[in-house]
């Protein structure tokens, strides 16, 4: 077994780290380049053109759906550092249970990890959506103030950090349940050992969602 230091899933992501994350901003995949730094002087149109019709302006439709479902796909893949470094995710391990030859005890333990993650992810995800809607509403009202803006953006950053911690921590707990051989097999099945993950879509997975999860073009 791989010995991993556990992270409490209820750890609050607050303080300076949360504020820094908030002020830096968390941008989901597909948001385009920053119009403030764009170097194209021939076309005045913003890369954001058309996004004014979004449900929440700062989130892609994929982000919104992920937050509503409690998955880790939002914001470019919240557990990607774990997933790409041999720390399997509980949902994918359960999907590949037969190929990984999980024992009944392993299935039960990983299901518990997944279910606990899902509860926390849904709760925090709903708060993220609500806070981002408030930020939209603040500017739509044409009555934004520095004080209110700082409050909401800081809260959003802390929530996003806490949500990411929920997903990453689930990967920590999952790897403790698996053998080294199962982790190696997982990496093979997920396409991480071939160097061609974008082309190696495992059987039973949606090619579109697989490529989105791995940042494929």
- Cβ 200 vs Cβ 14: under 8 Å: no
- Domain locations along the chain: 62-213
- Cβ 106 vs Cβ 98: under 8 Å: no
Residue-wise burial string across 200-216, b where 16 or more C-beta atoms lie within 10 A, e elsewhere: bbeeebeeeebbbbbee
Tokens of 51: 């996004």
pLDDT at 28: 44
Q: Phi first, then psi: give them for residue 189, nearest 5 degrees.
A: -65, -35
pLDDT at 41: 66
- Cβ 149 vs Cβ 138: under 8 Å: yes
Tokens of 181: 């051989």
- Cβ 3 vs Cβ 175: under 8 Å: no
Measured between alpha carbons, how far is 10 from 145 in angstroms, rounded to an integer?
Answer: 32
Average pLDDT of adjacent 10-residue blocks, the chain of 217 residues: 44 43 43 52 81 83 94 93 96 96 98 98 97 94 94 97 98 97 95 70 67 64
pLDDT at 19: 39
């Amino acid at each position: 077994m791989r010995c991993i230091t556990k992270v409490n899933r209820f750890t609050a992501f607050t303080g300076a780290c949360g504020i820094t994350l908030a002020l830096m901003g968390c941008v989901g995949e597909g948001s385009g380049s920053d119009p403030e730094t764009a170097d194209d002087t021939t076309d005045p149109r913003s890369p954001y053109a058309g996004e004014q019709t979004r449900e929440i302006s700062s989130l892609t439709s994929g982000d919104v759906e992920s937050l509503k479902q409690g998955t880790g796909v939002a914001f470019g893949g919240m557990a990607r550092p774990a997933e790409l470094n041999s720390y399997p995710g509980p949902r994918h391990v359960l999907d590949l249970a037969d190929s990984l030859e999980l024992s009944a005890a392993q299935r039960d333990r990983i299901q518990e990890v997944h279910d606990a993650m899902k509860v926390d992810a849904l709760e925090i995800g709903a708060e993220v959506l609500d806070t981002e809607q408030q930020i939209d509403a603040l500017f739509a009202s044409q009555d934004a103030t520095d004080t209110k803006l700082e409050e909401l953006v800081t809260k959003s950053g802390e929530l996003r950090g806490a949500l990411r911690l929920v997903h990453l921590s689930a990967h920590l707990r999952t790897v403790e349940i698996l053998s080294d051989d199962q982790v190696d097999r997982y990496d093979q099945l997920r396409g991480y050992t071939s160097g061609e993950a974008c082309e190696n879509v495992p059987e039973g997975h949606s090619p579109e969602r697989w490529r989105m999860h791995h940042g494929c073009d």
